[in-house]
């Protein structure tokens, strides 16, 4: 549309009953369905990632080259003309108009310029989640180790004749798993406190 994020939003206020800008000039909240639809393609996510730390208009050619380089896992200099063109055309015809339609970017098709709009900040938390490396939870391994050690100790005790009753074996396993559970709860206590403050 290319008239600027704020001007375009004000224009739409007078034409459409549902505006992308609230009464205090802050972008209204995008519905989650729209957010997921906008982020369903990797190219649109790459566009938003590229624009995230840039101010002002960006040339579509530069944007397309960087997105193509990310897709091919190479440098911009190593791209072939067909790789550049394929990404450029899809951004030009499909992805940028879609983002512009939802006031995520201001896309000036005639001049080949793209600029991030304030409303794009609503998508950043979803981009951050996607880019974070998954963190392995150590607790399942700890529980498994405790149960395995209890099994080995119990087996050894039975062979040596130390435990003749299954009651003591059960008590040993429950006590060991209980201690690990308390340690698990204790280690997550700070994280649970932070989540309760945020919610």
Q: Could you give the 3-state DSSP secondary structure of residue 114?
A: strand
- Cβ 184 vs Cβ 139: under 8 Å: yes
Q: How far is CA 104 from the centre of its chain?
A: 17
- Which one of 104, 131, 158 terminates a domain? 131
C-beta separation of 92 from 68 below 8 A? no
| CA–CA distances in Å: residue 3 to residues 6, 28, 45 | 8, 19, 23
Q: What is the CATH number of the domain that holds 109?
A: 1.10.10
- In whole angstroms, give the CA distance from residue 57 to residue 100: 13
Contact predicate 20/28, CB 8 Å: yes
Tens of pLDDT along 122-178? 888 887 654 444 445 676 777 778 777 777 777 777 777 766 666 776 777 778 888
Angular region, 165: left φ>0, alpha ψ -120 to 50, beta rest: beta
Give the end of a domain, one of 96, 131, 166.
131
Rg (CA), the chain: 28
Boundaries of domain holding 117? 5-131
**H or E element that contains 143:** helix 139-160
Q: Are residues 121 and 83 in the same domain?
A: yes
Would residue 2 be called left, alpha or beta, if left means φ above 0 and alpha means ψ between -120 and 50 degrees? left
- Checking if the pLDDT of 20 tops 60, the result is no
Q: Is the pTM above the cut of 0.85?
A: no
Residues 149, 59 share a domain: no
Give the phi and the psi of residue 79 in degrees, each rounded to 5. Answer: -70, 145
Chain segment 54-88, per-residue pLDDT in tens? 889 999 999 999 999 999 888 999 889 999 999 99
Whole-number Å distance between alpha carbons of 105 and 2: 9
119 or 139: which leads in pLDDT: 119
* Residue 160 Cα distances to 147, 156, 173, angstroms: 20, 6, 18
- Report the domain count for the chain: 2
Q: Angle at the Cα of 143 (from 129 to 173), degrees rounded to 5?
A: 160
> E strands along the chain, which residues?
58-59, 105-108, 113-116
Residues 19 and 106 in one domain: yes
């Amino acid at each position: 549309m290319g008239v600027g994020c704020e001007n375009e939003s004000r224009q739409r206020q007078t034409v459409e009953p549902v505006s992308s800008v609230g009464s205090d000039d802050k972008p209204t909240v995008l519905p989650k369905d729209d957010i997921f639809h906008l982020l369903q393609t990797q190219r649109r996510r790459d566009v938003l990632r590229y624009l995230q730390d840039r101010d002002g208009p960006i040339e579509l050619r530069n944007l397309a080259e960087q997105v193509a380089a990310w897709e091919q896992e190479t440098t911009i200099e190593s791209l072939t003309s067909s790789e550049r063109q394929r990404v450029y055309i899809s951004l030009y015809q499909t992805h940028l108009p879609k983002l512009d339609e939802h006031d995520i970017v201001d896309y000036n098709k005639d001049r080949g310029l793209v600029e991030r709009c304030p409303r794009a900040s609503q998508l950043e938390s979803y981009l951050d989640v996607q880019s974070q490396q998954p963190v392995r939870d150590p607790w399942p391994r700890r529980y498994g180790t405790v149960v395995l050690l209890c099994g080995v100790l119990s087996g050894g005790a039975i062979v040596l004749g130390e435990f003749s009753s299954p009651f003591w074996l059960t008590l040993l396993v429950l006590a060991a798993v209980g201690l690990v559970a308390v340690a698990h709860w204790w280690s997550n206590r700070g994280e649970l406190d932070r989540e309760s403050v945020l919610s």
